[in-house]
């Protein structure tokens, strides 16, 4: 069992250490990974090859590793909770829980995401551009309600809490899967290009919670507690087996198996996803584009478990009369526990279930100022359960020489205005390498940031000197 705890911990921490697709990269010219954000994008090389085989290249392979990570918090940062005090505490750091509560939304997320590019290739044939990609992906999302912090801090009798349904919810969605992506882009006319990508998914591990969650209401007249729950959890953990009682549905036992390489060769949890994109060249200066990516699901069938907790309980207080009567042997506390156990019955099963990817929508516009300089704007929307996360990015892209491209961006997301991004793409012989960061300021002032983002890659490109008219430029 310790091995599986270690495995799960490693996956989650890897998301934290190496963890939103890069908004800055959307506008980066001569970047072979641009099609990951919009499958309609076409690279300017006849053939490209990237991934772990190319990263065996000495020096360059170690600097431009084929990975992407993102860390994101939706409503608060370090300075929200811990900051310099005022008055007699001006020389100290204080923990400011009220300030944290004031900054929280009804639902709040902390997320980590990691992609490791195993193999990728692109091939241009006339007006078509074909892509192939194999990627290892890990995604971890943890959400909690504001009331979960507000209730214990202020108490249930506080004016902000009493007489209303408080959401006492914690959510988790952790997934590790492998993606095999096949895409094509078709330049139908000089103005219009379409793109689509079909992705076959192979799930490795998953834990997710869902349902309406938990509610607690304190009666503002009699001060009784009314607790309701509708919580479900499903998971697929290789090597861990849950055995349930056929009559009660409760867990009878849990057995484990030795961990081995079969974990990484698991094809028993299939899934499918779809990316769609389009580019419209309005005129020689203005271009519009849109894409919808990661629209898909995984069907979990191997080592699955499901648990459900439903019920409602009203607590008026504990009757201590039996304890005052020496002839009454009633165990008051046990009566309360039995009542809770009969009300909130946790049942389970090994049934199959589905989990869904996080779909993302991109809407963009680009204006060409000169052959070397263009600017763009990007709106991005990502759907989380119970929350829609949006961002707006302004970008400038400069290509002073044929073998070097520099991109700068300025983003507004998570109620923050100072997310400054930088990226560059460099050509060195047959090698094409890039580095992009959506929030450079977060690296300088981590105590003020809500997002950290990093992406690097190394490719070999062949036949990259085609005329511009043969390439859809964005």
Length in residues, the chain:
474
pLDDT of the residue at 12: 33
Within the chain, how many helices (H) and strands (E) appear? 8, 24
Longest dimension (CA), the chain: 99
pLDDT reading at 336 higher than 80: no
Residue ranges of the domains in the chain?
A: 2-470
pLDDT reading at 13 higher than 50: no
Q: Which is higher by pLDDT, 347 or 350?
A: 350
Are 259 and 323 in contact by the 8 Å Cβ rule? The answer is: no
Q: Which residues of 165-181 are buried (b: 16+ CB within 10 A; e: fewer)?
A: ebbbbebbbbbbbbbeb
Q: How far apart are CA 20 and CA 111, in angstroms?
A: 9
pLDDT (tens digit per residue) in 245-275:
776 667 777 788 777 777 888 889 999 999 9
Which tokens sit at 360? 């993302």
CA distances from 456 to 67, 412, 425, 436 (A): 6, 23, 10, 7
pLDDT (tens digit per residue) in 86-112:
878 778 888 889 889 998 888 888 888
Q: Using 50, 70 and 90 to split pLDDT, how confident is the model at 418?
A: low
- Percentage helix, strand, coil for the chain under 3-state DSSP, each rounded to 5: 20, 55, 30
pLDDT of the residue at 201: 97
Q: How far apart are CA 277 and CA 291, in angstroms?
A: 4
Q: How far apart are CA 176 and CA 300, in angstroms?
A: 12
Could you count the other beta carbons within 10 Å of the beta carbon of residue 423?
Answer: 25
Partnered with residue 424 across adjacent β-strands are: 406, 435
What is the SS3 assignment for 103? helix
Which tokens sit at 359? 């779909």
Are 407 and 374 in contact by the 8 Å Cβ rule? The answer is: no
pLDDT (tens digit per residue) in 428-444:
888 999 999 887 877 77
Q: How far apart are CA 1 and CA 217, in angstroms?
A: 39
pLDDT of the residue at 198: 98
Q: Say what the pTM is.
A: 0.81
Poorest-pLDDT segment among 57-66, 297-306, 328-337, 414-423: 328-337
pLDDT of the residue at 318: 54
pLDDT reading at 415 higher than 70: no
Q: Which is higher by pLDDT, 226 or 326?
A: 226
pLDDT reading at 78 higher than 50: yes
Q: Provide the percentage of residues in the chain whose pLDDT is more than 70.
A: 84
Query: For all residues of the chain together, what is the average pLDDT?
Result: 82
pLDDT of the residue at 316: 62
Could you count the other beta carbons within 10 Å of the beta carbon of residue 319?
Answer: 11
Which tokens sit at 22? 């890069």
pLDDT reading at 65 higher than 90: no
Stretch 142-150: mean pLDDT: 90
pLDDT (tens digit per residue) in 181-227:
999 999 999 999 999 999 999 999 999 988 778 888 888 777 777 88
Stretch 157-165: mean pLDDT: 84
pLDDT (tens digit per residue) in 113-135:
899 999 999 999 999 999 999 99
pLDDT reading at 5 higher than 50: no
pLDDT (tens digit per residue) in 275-284:
999 999 999 9
pLDDT reading at 143 higher than 50: yes
Which tokens sit at 307? 């648990």
Beta strand ranges found along 219-339 (DSSP E): 225-236, 240-244, 251-256, 270-281, 286-300, 304-315
Q: Using 50, 70 and 90 to split pLDDT, how confident is the model at 353?
A: very high
DSSP conformation class of 54 = G
């Amino acid at each position: 069992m310790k091995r599986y705890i270690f495995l799960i911990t490693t996956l989650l921490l890897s998301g934290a250490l190496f963890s939103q697709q890069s908004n800055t990269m959307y506008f980066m010219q001569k970047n072979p990974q641009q099609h990951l954000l919009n499958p309609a994008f076409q690279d300017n090389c006849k053939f490209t090859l990237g991934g772990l085989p190319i990263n065996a290249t000495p020096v360059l392979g170690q600097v431009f590793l084929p990975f992407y990570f993102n860390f994101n918090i939706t409503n608060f940062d370090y300075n929200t909770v811990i900051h310099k005090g005022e008055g007699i505490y001006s020389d100290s750091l204080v923990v400011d829980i009220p300030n944290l509560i004031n900054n929280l939304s009804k639902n709040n997320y902390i997320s980590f995401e990691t992609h490791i590019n195993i193999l990728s290739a692109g091939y241009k044939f006339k007006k078509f551009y074909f892509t192939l990609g194999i990627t290892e992906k890990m995604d971890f999302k943890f959400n909690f309600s504001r009331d979960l912090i507000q209730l214990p801090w202020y108490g249930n009798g506080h004016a902000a809490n009493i007489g209303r349904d408080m959401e006492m919810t914690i959510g988790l969605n952790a997934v590790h899967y492998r993606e095999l992506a096949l895409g094509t882009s078709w330049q139908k006319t000089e103005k219009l290009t379409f793109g689509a990508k079909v992705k076959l998914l192979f799930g490795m591990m998953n834990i997710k919670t869902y349902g309406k969650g938990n509610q607690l209401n304190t009666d503002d007249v009699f001060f009784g507690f009314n607790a309701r729950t509708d919580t479900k959890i499903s998971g697929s953990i290789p090597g861990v087996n849950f055995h349930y009682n056929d009559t009660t549905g409760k867990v009878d036992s849990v057995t484990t198996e030795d961990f081995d390489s079969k974990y990484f060769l698991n094809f028993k949890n299939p899934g499918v996803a779809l990316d769609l994109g389009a580019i419209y060249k309005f005129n020689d200066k203005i271009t519009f584009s849109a894409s919808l990516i990661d629209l898909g699901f995984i069907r979990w069938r191997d080592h699955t478990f499901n648990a459900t907790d439903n019920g409602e309980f009203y607590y008026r207080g504990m009757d201590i009369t039996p304890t005052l009567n020496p002839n009454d042997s009633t165990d008051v506390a046990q009566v309360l526990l039995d009542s809770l156990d009969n009300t909130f019955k946790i049942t389970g099963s090994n049934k199959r279930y589905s989990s869904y990817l996080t779909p993302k929508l991109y809407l963009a516009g680009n204006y060409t100022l000169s052959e070397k300089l263009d600017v763009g704007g990007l709106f991005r929307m990502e759907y989380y359960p119970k929350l829609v996360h949006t961002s707006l990015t302004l970008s400038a892209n400069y290509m002073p020489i044929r073998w070097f491209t520099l991109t700068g961006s300025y983003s507004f997301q998570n109620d923050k205005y100072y997310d400054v991004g930088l990226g560059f793409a460099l050509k060195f012989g047959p090698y094409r390498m890039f580095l992009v960061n959506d929030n450079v300021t977060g690296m300088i002032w981590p105590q003020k940031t809500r997002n950290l983002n990093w992406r690097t890659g190394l490719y070999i490109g062949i036949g990259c000197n085609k005329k511009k008219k043969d390439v859809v430029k964005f």
